[in-house]
Structure 1
Amino acid sequence: MEQVRGRDTWTDSGVSYAGDPLVSSTTTSFESGETFKEQALGFVMAWCEILMELGRGFRDILRQNLVNDDSYVVRKLRGPCSKVSKRLSFLNHFLPEDRDPLHAWSVVFFVFILALAAISVDPNREAVAPVVKVRKHPPSASRVLLPDGRYMAYREQGVSAETARFSLVAPHSFLSSRLAGLPGVKASLLEEYGVRLVTYDLPGFGESDPHPNRSLNSSAMDILHLVNAVNVSDKFWLLCHSSGCIHAWASLRYIPERIAGAAMLAPTVSPYDPQMTKEEMKRTWEKWLPRRKMMYSLARRFPKLLAFFYRKSFLPEKHDEIEKLLSFSLGKKDKLLVEEPEFEEFWQRDVEESVRQGNIYPFIEEAVLQVSNWGFGIKELHVQKNCQTRGLLLWLKSLYSQEECELAGFLGLTHIWQGLDDRVVPPSMMEYVERVLPEAVIHKLPNEGHFSYFYFCDQCHKHMFATLFGTPQGPVEPPEETTFEEDKEVKEEVLQVSV
């Protein structure tokens, strides 16, 4: 039989049938087929085609069910979309005539997003600042026992209680503690004016015990019990900054007879105050970042949800930038100030003291107090005559006699310093206070921000003290204790002579 030459006969399952050399199917496939790289590329291309077909299928389903004229979505959005497209139709004149506006503007929007993302990446940005951990400090505060059994932590600066010419009591702001007071105030300045500065921790902050039912009324009563416990027998002054001023407003309302006056720096009022005009409210809200607006809305309507955000923000293991922590933007002078090492060290220590109990609920209570119904309006502090006019005879008598009339409101002095570049407490809040409380003395500060006139500003502190207390007279001289001893010695001599 003639031998068959040439190509191998057919193979099946890797087994050759006939042919001289025995060649495996694997070898044959690599010799005649594609490489592994080409096979992988083909596999990827095939999957891309499958995904494209799947996308076309979804698109067809959406068109048939949602984008047709009878769908619910089209019926609801057809009117608003047509109005918007008509208002923006003038922009189509900037496009070439042969371009579909929908396709062209989609491309423009996509390119805009890519450009915005590219601009936000700064290759020349400086290295990230070193991470600073939140430290824990041993207790260091003096404490007084309040009538309800709670302990309140406080701190004293300046002259002693016996030699104080003026007593200043300072409630602190939101993420702060008794350590704040008047940041960076010189001991020599307190001595020069004879000032005793008393600061304290709000309930649940620092080393003060929490209050089970906090309100602005209870806050004013806490201040009253504190000054009595630390031997402030005469009238005292209030000093407050930012959100700490809500407790000062409450004190002016509920214990006005004990207060000589108030010094307020960028004082907060409720952004939901019903006495604010729509224009004042609008100019207040538009200065805030979206996250800050959301926090105020949650505190007003869903305060329990604040626990999730505050726990992540205020109880971390590491310090964060002040702007990110409190969700606000800063003006030019404030940005320069917060970059100073002195401010950063002071701020971090104050934050560490405020969160030392690890309890988030006092912060939630404080936020709710800012936006809730205070139980009084700032307009009630306006000085006005309160006459007994019940009955015709009393009314006629009050017209000719002052005996049946008494002055209502806060009768002391109120000084307010407001930076016009403040983006945390907008100047519109100050304008509202100026409208409803015309007797308040407003000091408008051009180019000043929220912190720049309060933190580590010696000239500012001197100007404030000079405005409040006039010419410095130093501390009061303590009473001489030798008079009683001399009288005692004279009496003993007289007795000896008589004997």
Structure 2
Amino acid sequence: MAGPIRKVSAASARAHTRRKGHANSSFLPRGMIKKLSVVLFIGLLAWSYQAIQPTPPKICGSPDGPPVTSSRIKLKDGRHLAYTEYGVPKEKAKYKIVFIHAFDCCKFDVIPISPALLEELGIYLLSFDRAGYGESDPHPKMTEKSTALDIEELADKLELGSKFYIIGFSMGGEIGWTCLKFIPHRLAGAAIVAPVANFWWRGFPSNISKEAYNQQFLQDKWAVGVAHYAPWLTYWWNTQKLFPGSSVMSQRVDGFSAEDLKLLPILAAKGQYRAQVRQQGDFESIHRDMMVNFGRWDFSPLELDNPFPNNEGSVHLWHGAEDLIVPVILSRYISQKLPWVHYHELPDAGHLFPMADGMSDAIVKALLLGDN
């Protein structure tokens, strides 16, 4: 049965309406909600902006920066380049070589040419910290061209003469192509060793660049993709903790080949100077390196002309077929498109093959003497 019907008085109805109105008044007015949304959105943007900003660099020689312990020259734009020298004095040298170090390395990470060969052939070997690494000042406006010009100015400051050789390893090998583009008139010859390649260089067929790109760890596909398409996110991408950044930056070793793993103890023995490599800040060294070398280049090595049309010098490209860090397929393609490049592919070698006993001497002999 239904319950009794209650009569509601007019006074009770008015009281109920007042209580309902009072309850509704506890919600923010629509205009206030819009203003609060705008404030929250601006706050989120500000937080995001701060999150992607790199920490300021600690410049060597500045009041809060690392000390300067190496020889340095001052470039015309005011920056300093730090360097070290090996072999015979340059005044007595028959051959002068500038070495270009790899990613996340410094001037001390030079390929191990034997002292006996340096002496026998009369080689002066110059190695320098690339911009932002070691004790060389950062270069906020660094491009694919700027390191080649740094090398030319360094050679002039140290009076190496009108021509010199270059040897570039890994990321330094990639920079070797820029030397062939921008300072070919200063080169007596070049050895480009296990070079990193930019997957977006003009001239690579899409199937070739895609195959090489897909040979990387997933985290590296993302890391180089960010460096290319959204370079302003490179610092945040490789410092946030939500997911892994570049495996090379984190020094993940399971990407090395079996032959590379045998050579890793040689690198570990150099650990006494590792702290110097990134001492001015990760952004100014490894992050900017990625942004430039996987960025949008104004030229492609596949478009290069032979810098030695009269055989007055030579270019040698070396790569290990078992290189799991830098896919060999891109170097193979470059060698096919540039027939003037002397291509050396080592069937069982990984990325670190220049560290193997006698290998660096073989690279130097091929460059200077034409040995194969």
Distance 1:137 1:357, change over 3 A: closer
Indicate yes or no: 2:105 matched with 1:176: yes
| Contact 1:186 1:458 (C-alpha < 8 Å) held by counterparts | no
Superposition deviation, residue 423 in structure 1: 0.9
Runs of 4+ more than 4 Å apart: 321-324, 407-411
| Contact 1:425 1:450 (C-alpha < 8 Å) held by counterparts | yes
Indicate yes or no: 2:186 matched with 1:186: no
Counterpart in 2 of 1:393? none
RMSD of aligned alpha carbons: 2.7
Counterpart in 2 of 1:425? 326
TM-score when normalising by structure 2: 0.75
| Contact 1:382 1:409 (C-alpha < 8 Å) held by counterparts | no
Give the alignment of 1:87-486 within 5 angstroms. Answer: 139-182=68-111, 184-311=112-239, 324-325=250-251, 329-338=255-264, 340=265, 342-346=266-270, 348-383=271-306, 412-451=313-352, 453-455=353-355, 457-470=356-369
What is the distance in 2 between the residues matched to 1:221 and 1:147? 11
Letter in structure 2 aligned against 1:251:
C
Letter in structure 1 aligned against 2:268:
E
Provide the secondary structure at the position in 2 that maps to 1:144.
strand
| Contact 1:300 1:372 (C-alpha < 8 Å) held by counterparts | yes
What is the distance in 2 between the residues matched to 1:185 and 1:411? 24
Superposition deviation, residue 425 in structure 1: 1.1
Bigger shift: residues 152-161 or 277-286: 277-286
Provide the secondary structure at the position in 1 that maps to 2:204.
coil
What is the distance in 1 between the residues matched to 2:350 and 2:344? 13
What is the distance in 1 between the residues matched to 2:143 and 2:171? 14
Superposition deviation, residue 185 in structure 1: 2.9
Query: Which protein has greater RCO, CA pairs closer than 8 Å, 6+ apart?
Result: 2
What is the distance in 2 between the residues matched to 1:311 and 1:360? 10
5+ residue gaps, structure 2, are 1-64, 242-246
Distance 1:234 1:164, change over 3 A: farther
What is the distance in 2 between the residues matched to 1:157 and 1:292? 35
| Contact 1:333 1:448 (C-alpha < 8 Å) held by counterparts | yes
What is the distance in 2 between the residues matched to 1:301 and 1:470? 42
What is the distance in 1 between the residues matched to 2:238 and 2:143? 20
Distance 1:427 1:286, change over 3 A: same
CA shift digits 1:105-128 (9 cap, x unpaired): xxxxxxxxxxxxxxxxxxxxxxxx
Superposition deviation, residue 310 in structure 1: 3.4
Provide the secondary structure at the position in 2 that maps to 1:325.
coil
Counterpart in 2 of 1:394? none
What is the distance in 2 between the residues matched to 1:328 and 1:306? 23
What is the distance in 2 between the residues matched to 1:326 and 1:382? 37
Distance 1:198 1:311, change over 3 A: farther
Superposition deviation, residue 327 in structure 1: 7.8
5+ residue gaps, structure 1, are 1-135, 314-320, 385-406, 473-499
Superposition deviation, residue 382 in structure 1: 2.7
Provide the secondary structure at the position in 1 that maps to 2:297.
coil
Letter in structure 1 aligned against 2:198:
S
Letter in structure 2 aligned against 1:377:
S
CA shift digits 1:66-91 (9 cap, x unpaired): xxxxxxxxxxxxxxxxxxxxxxxxxx
| Contact 2:223 2:238 (C-alpha < 8 Å) held by counterparts | no
Counterpart in 2 of 1:84? none
What is the distance in 2 between the residues matched to 1:324 and 1:409? 45
Superposition deviation, residue 269 in structure 1: 1.9
What is the distance in 1 between the residues matched to 2:240 and 2:254? 17
Provide the secondary structure at the position in 2 that maps to 1:216.
coil
Superposition deviation, residue 293 in structure 1: 0.5
Superposition deviation, residue 222 in structure 1: 0.6
What is the distance in 1 between the residues matched to 2:223 and 2:311? 32
- Asked which structure has the greater CA Rg, the reply is 1
Identity %: 27
